[in-house]
Structure 1
Amino acid sequence: MSKKAGKKRRPRDVDACDVTRDRVRAHFLDGQTGPWARKLGAEPSPSTDAASSSDAVPSTAASSSTSSKTEMTVAPGPAGPDYSVPSSIDIVADPVLHAIATRRSISKLDPQTPNDADLRELIHAVSSVADHKGLKPWRFIIIRGHDRIRLGEALDEAGNVQRKAGEINEKPLRAELLLALVASPQDNPKVPEWEQHATAAGAGHLLELALWQAGWGVMWRSGNLTNEPAVRRLHRLKESELLMGWLYIGAVPERYRQRLSNSTRPLPDPEQFLDTL
């Protein structure tokens, strides 16, 4: 197949993408969490049956017969990434890719939350985040119950907000469980602070994905007051630490599952994020 022909989107590719989007929406339709991936993965993939011999990747023998010509002649590279070889990746059948593709920030959450034992297991899993020198430069702080009111008071103090008697800052009450993410850089001459902040943010995002895959909704919130003195004191931060916001965690409302079933919002075109040297 020539590169020119490979850049054209064939009708069967469009149909497969449409079917995949429809299958992706099934993630929330009946409130399933873990089992959904196995069930969808057992269904025949629309791209499998549609594959034809003309689209197949050349055999090893065929490739070896042309390799010598390729080595002798250095042709100019493509203007951008080459997508001429069809992808065999199925974002629906793979539970990790499916969680990544379907994750959404949920602003309004139902009151049910994971227990602390579940949080421990999920945080244990996300500790595999890319981490130069294995410094583990992050930590989480669990905030439940009255501690959310204390957070509201600290935010009011940081913002010089004066409330009437009996009034409270209700923003931290938008979820029953908040997890504060703290970047906690370690002294290491080979790992700059910005890189450790990136690692901490990666741990936070992996935890979002893990919670989503486990069936929980998450909203990562921060703001201009996040690292003001009053808020930092509440979280007992060291001078070198940075509060990167809070994960608001709760159950996904049924109304949101219904909205997702009718959603047509596509993922962004990956070509805008790709280039070659």
Structure 2
Amino acid sequence: MGELMGGHKDKKHKSKKTKRSGRDLNGDACEVTKDRVRAHFLDGNTGPWAKNLAAQDAQTAHSTQNADDADAAEAAAVSAKSSTASVTPTRRGPDYSVPSSIDIVADPVLHALSTRRSISKVDPETPNDSDLLEIIRSISAVADHKALRPWRFLIIRGDDRHRLGAALDEAAGVVRKPGETNTKPLRAELLLALVASPVKHDKVPEWEQHATASGAGHLLELALWQAGWGVMWRSGTLTNSEPVRRLHRLDDHELLMGWFYIGAVPERYRQRLPTSTRPLPKPEQFLDTL
């Protein structure tokens, strides 16, 4: 208080302080606006609506605040932060001010994760069954509540692919001419069918076991990619039709989660991969705080 009521030098000091406070408040205003947008979004409003509502909030706040009260507003904010009263905290979101120590390019696992691609057309060469066994061994560490292992794979090669095509035709009610066949299962020499096979457990619901099976599928794709193989996870509306389920010998409680089409990565794909410009999605959209 003594400084505020001092002489000329104090007035000059006050002027600089006011300017600094103005800049600080502008920065805080930006953060508050982001918080308002996020709050409206979490309340169920989509992006544009959330931004419009946040802008209305800012306009209302601006019309009721006197610009000469900047110092008083700052003091009130500090007081509110230090108050022990129960108030709703302003959501700030994650803190990215500390630089990351993660190097995606240098770490082989993270690099494989970030560069993985689904290869829709693979070459005929495939991993053998012993290779598959080692791949399955590596993915068995998938997150699995109570270690129930509620998943399994079925190898489909050779004529078994024609049997799958016939089952798909039966499910779709398709009758082909003599000599014709469903060519969709022939897009790769090797298919792996993923079956979710949940077990009854009072602490692990079925949906959680399906999530574990799905996790095993994603790890399979990554492991095959890291081992040098191309893979495409395919499914469809007929995946769990009766003829297809019968072919895969599924029990009533089991769920067929699709097929992994596996083969060698064509040379044309390999040549394009190092210069691929497909950007990864911005990770900020997947990370938030309570």
- TM-score band, normalised by shorter chain: 0.7 to 0.9
Give the residue type in structure 2 aligned to 1:90. Answer: D
TM-score, length of structure 1 as denominator length: 0.72
TM-score, length of structure 2 as denominator length: 0.69
Match of 1:260? 273
- Kindly state the Cα deviation for residue 218 of structure 1 after the two structures are TM-superposed: 0.6
* 1:72-221 correspondence runs (5 A): 79-221=92-234
Deviations 1:107-150 (A, max 9, x none): 00001111111110110111111101110000000000000000
For residues 251 and 151 of structure 1, what CA distance do their matches in structure 2 show?
22
For residues 240 and 266 of structure 1, what CA distance do their matches in structure 2 show?
40
For residues 162 and 271 of structure 1, what CA distance do their matches in structure 2 show?
50
Q: Residues 133 and 175 from structure 1, CA distance in 2 versus in 1: closer, same or farther, beyond 3 angstroms?
A: same
For residues 92 and 131 of structure 2, what CA distance do their matches in structure 1 show?
48
Comparing 242-251 and 90-99, the one that deviates more = 90-99
Match of 2:261? 248
- Kindly state the Cα deviation for residue 86 of structure 1 after the two structures are TM-superposed: 0.8
Q: What's the secondary structure of 2:219's corresponding residue?
A: helix
- Kindly state the Cα deviation for residue 242 of structure 1 after the two structures are TM-superposed: 0.2
* 1:41-60 correspondence runs (5 A): none
- Kindly state the Cα deviation for residue 261 of structure 1 after the two structures are TM-superposed: 3.0
Q: What's the secondary structure of 2:191's corresponding residue?
A: strand
Give the residue type in structure 2 aligned to 1:234. Answer: L
For residues 225 and 105 of structure 2, what CA distance do their matches in structure 1 show?
15
Matched, 1:234 2:247: yes
Give the residue type in structure 1 aligned to 2:225. Answer: W
For residues 120 and 110 of structure 1, what CA distance do their matches in structure 2 show?
21
- Kindly state the Cα deviation for residue 77 of structure 1 after the two structures are TM-superposed: 6.2
> Would you tell me which structure has more helix in proportion to its own residues?
2
Give the residue type in structure 1 aligned to 2:133. Answer: R
Comparing 249-258 and 76-85, the one that deviates more = 76-85
- Kindly state the Cα deviation for residue 260 of structure 1 after the two structures are TM-superposed: 2.0
Q: What's the secondary structure of 2:256's corresponding residue?
A: strand
Deviations 1:138-180 (A, max 9, x none): 0000000000000000000000011111000000000010000
- Kindly state the Cα deviation for residue 263 of structure 1 after the two structures are TM-superposed: 2.0
Match of 2:284? 271
Give the aligned CA root-mean-square deviation in angstroms: 2.1
Q: Residues 88 and 240 from structure 1, CA distance in 2 versus in 1: closer, same or farther, beyond 3 angstroms?
A: same
For residues 117 and 271 of structure 1, what CA distance do their matches in structure 2 show?
41
For residues 204 and 263 of structure 1, what CA distance do their matches in structure 2 show?
25
If asked which structure has higher relative contact order (CA below 8 Å, sep 6+), I would say 1
Unaligned runs of 5+ in 1: 5-71
Identical columns (%): 77
